[in-house]
């Protein structure tokens, strides 16, 4: 019924000379830079080259321009369905995925722990094969990266990491799109991570050097990033001629930085550690004092939800804060991921500078 309504509206628009709702899209082979991602999984940015990540960001900017700015209707995912498995609740991941997939003509199907228990009543192997027969892709927000890896191994459709204990790749895509929009480039920027050595940081470590960005990290003792991931990140920095540093001093990490980044200190599943964590993270709040150590053009990112102990109101609500454009870009980047993995779409917008 929705399809017929859209068709009627488009025909009416044509008769009235209004092109706003007209189907005006191109879905051809993605030949630029010889990048073709159709059928791939997105489990971690470690598995993607610089050009592949840039391509997703290019598609993100293209879709945002064509749909938001030009008002085009692009049913690129018409007839396709997406399984959404959420072991952890979410605002931005769920909203961006559901609204974005529907906006492109697809049908998202949301499953909570009340609907599906990965590996409990049914093996992950069986679940992945059932999902492969009923959906075109699955986005899973899970506790364990190993569950995602097994889903991807057994599935015949793309599996997308909506968050795991190790990585949060779709968040970092939104961060990079936001920074590219603000600065006009990414290469040469210095990112500072001040906080927990968690999945967000891991995803930055797996990708920043590929863009020629430097990374300065400060965590409390005992909250460092995964040592194996750190080794890979150090190798990436060496290969790409960038710098990566680790310290326990927030001001040292902020020195000369273009972007100050933090995240929650107490993630879901860590509630029993809250008192200890708040004690251990004292001195890690991002304030204007932190910003004084940074570059004159510094900005601030936070994936949300935010607590005042992580960043004070003066920074969070200041013109330097990009958190709300960052949140909106979750939608455009996840749309680009879906389009890139499920179609042969060619962006019409000129390639942005990275």
Query: pLDDT at position 2, please?
Result: 45
d(CA 157, CA 341): 9
Domain ranges in the chain are: 45-168+330-342, 170-266+278-328
Query: pLDDT at position 118, please?
Result: 65
Res. 117 pLDDT band, cuts 50 70 90: low
Beta-strand relationship, 259-262 and 190-194: parallel
Beta-strand relationship, 107-111 and 190-194: unpaired
Res. 10 pLDDT band, cuts 50 70 90: very low
Query: pLDDT at position 270, please?
Result: 75
Q: Which of 41, 263, 313, 344 is catalytic?
A: 263
Report the percentage of the chain scoring pLDDT > 70: 89
Q: Indicate the CATH number for domain 170-266+278-328.
A: 3.40.50.1370
Q: What's the rounded mean pLDDT across residues 85-102?
A: 93
Q: What's the rounded mean pLDDT across residues 222-244?
A: 98
* Close Cβ partners of 176 (under 8 Å, ≥ 6 residues apart): 53, 57, 186, 207, 211
Find the angle CA(16)-CA(345)-CA(337) to the nearest 5 degrees.
110
Query: pLDDT at position 271, please?
Result: 76
d(CA 209, CA 237): 5
Active site residue 228: no
Res. 272 pLDDT band, cuts 50 70 90: confident
Please give the CATH architecture assigned to the domain spanning 45-168+330-342: 3-Layer(aba) Sandwich (3.40)
Cβ of 232: how many Cβ atoms within 10 Å?
15
Q: What's the start-to-end Cα distance of the chain, in Å? A: 42
Residue at token pair 């890896």: 149
Secondary structure of residue 197 in the 3-state scheme: coil
Secondary structure of residue 209 in the 3-state scheme: helix
CB-based contact 277:248 (threshold 8 Å): no
Give the model confidence (pLDDT) of 274-321 as tens digits: 899 999 999 999 999 999 999 999 999 999 999 999 999 999 999 999
Model pTM above 0.85? yes
Cβ of 305: how many Cβ atoms within 10 Å?
11
> Any idea of the CA torsion for 173, 178, 182, 186, to the nearest 10 degrees?
-10
Query: pLDDT at position 18, please?
Result: 41
CA atoms within 13 A on the CB side of 337: 33
Whether the per-residue pLDDT at 9 is higher than 50: the answer is no
Whether the per-residue pLDDT at 204 is higher than 90: the answer is yes
CB-based contact 74:80 (threshold 8 Å): no
Give the model confidence (pLDDT) of 172-191 as tens digits: 999 999 999 999 999 999 99
Active site residue 196: no
Q: Which of 41, 136, 165, 303 is catalytic?
A: 303
Whether the per-residue pLDDT at 21 is higher than 90: the answer is no
Mean residue pLDDT across the chain: 91
Inter-residue long-range contacts of 311-318, CB under 8 Å, 24+ positions, other chains counted = 311/262, 311/285, 311/286, 311/287, 312/285, 312/286, 312/287, 312/288, 314/287, 314/288, 315/260, 315/286, 315/287, 315/288, 315/290, 315/291
Is-same-fold flag (45-168+330-342; 170-266+278-328)? yes
Query: pLDDT at position 17, please?
Result: 43
Query: pLDDT at position 131, please?
Result: 94
Q: Choose between 69 and 112: higher pLDDT.
A: 69
Nearest to 70 by CA among 107, 36, 20: 20
Region of poorest pLDDT, from 92-101, 107-116, 219-228: 107-116
């Amino acid at each position: 019924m929705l399809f017929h309504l859209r068709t009627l509206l488009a025909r009416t628009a044509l008769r009235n000379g209004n092109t706003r709702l007209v189907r005006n899209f191109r879905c051809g082979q993605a030949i630029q830079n010889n990048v073709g991602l159709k059928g791939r999984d997105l489990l971690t940015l470690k598995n993607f080259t610089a050009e592949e990540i840039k391509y997703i960001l290019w598609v993100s900017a293209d879709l945002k321009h064509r749909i938001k700015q030009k008002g085009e209707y692009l049913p690129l995912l018409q007839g396709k369905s997406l399984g959404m498995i959420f072991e952890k609740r979410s605002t931005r991941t769920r909203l961006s995925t559901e609204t974005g997939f529907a906006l492109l003509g697809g049908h998202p199907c949301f499953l909570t722990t009340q609907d599906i228990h990965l590996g409990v009543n049914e093996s992950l192997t069986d679940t992945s094969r059932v999902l492969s027969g009923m959906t075109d892709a699955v986005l899973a927000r899970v506790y364990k990266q190993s569950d995602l890896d097994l889903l991807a191994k057994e599935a015949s459709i793309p599996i997308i990491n909506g968050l795991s204990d190790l990585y949060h790749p779709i968040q970092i895509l939104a961060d990079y799109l936001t920074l590219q929009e603000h600065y006009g480039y990414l290469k040469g920027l210095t990112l500072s991570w001040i906080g927990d050595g968690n999945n967000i940081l891991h995803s930055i470590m797996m990708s920043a050097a590929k863009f020629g960005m430097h990374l300065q990290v400060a965590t409390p003792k005992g909250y460092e990033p995964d040592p194996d991931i750190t080794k890979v990140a150090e190798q990436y920095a060496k290969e790409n001629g960038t710098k990566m540093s680790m310290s326990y001093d927030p001001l040292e990490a902020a020195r000369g930085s273009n972007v100050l980044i933090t995240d929650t200190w107490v993630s879901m599943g860590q509630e029993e550690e809250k008192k200890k964590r708040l004690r251990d993270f004292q001195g890690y709040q991002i304030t204007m004092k932190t910003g004084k150590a940074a570059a004159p053009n510094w900005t601030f990112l936070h994936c949300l939800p935010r607590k005042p102990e992580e960043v004070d109101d003066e920074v969070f609500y200041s013109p330097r804060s990009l958190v709300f454009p960052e949140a909106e870009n979750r939608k455009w980047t996840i749309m680009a991921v879906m389009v890139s993995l499920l179609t042969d779409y060619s962006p019409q917008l000129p390639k942005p500078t990275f």
